[in-house]
Amino acid sequence: MKKYLCEACGYIYDPEVGDPDNGVEAGTAFEDIPEDWLCPLCGLGKDAFVETE
């Protein structure tokens, strides 16, 4: 699965890890994260993220 980078703060969402502290289980694709999920570091929404390698 592809990783996604928050352009504002540099946080990388890795689907293999998820974001369990914020209710996103490991193995959750970025597209399947709820629309109201926020970056755990800077608080911006999914629209601040871009696909990365």
Summarised one tens digit per residue, pLDDT across range 1-53 is 899 999 999 999 999 999 999 999 999 999 999 999 999 999 999 999 999 98
39 belongs to an annotated ligand binding site: yes
CB burial class (10 A; 0-12, 13-18, 19+) of residue 40? middle
Is 42 flagged in the annotation as binding? yes
* Amino acid residing at 42: C
Q: Domain 1-50 carries which CATH code?
A: 2.20.28.10
Question: Which amino acid, residue 48?
Answer: A
* pLDDT at 50 (0 to 100): 98
Q: Where are the domains of the chain?
A: 1-50
On whether 47 is known to bind a ligand per the annotation, the reply is: no
**Cα–chain-centroid distance for residue 17?**
10
Q: How far is Cα 18 from Cα 21, in angstroms, rounded to an integer?
A: 9
Q: Is 28 exposed, middle or buried (0-12, 13-18, 19+ CB in 10 A)?
A: buried
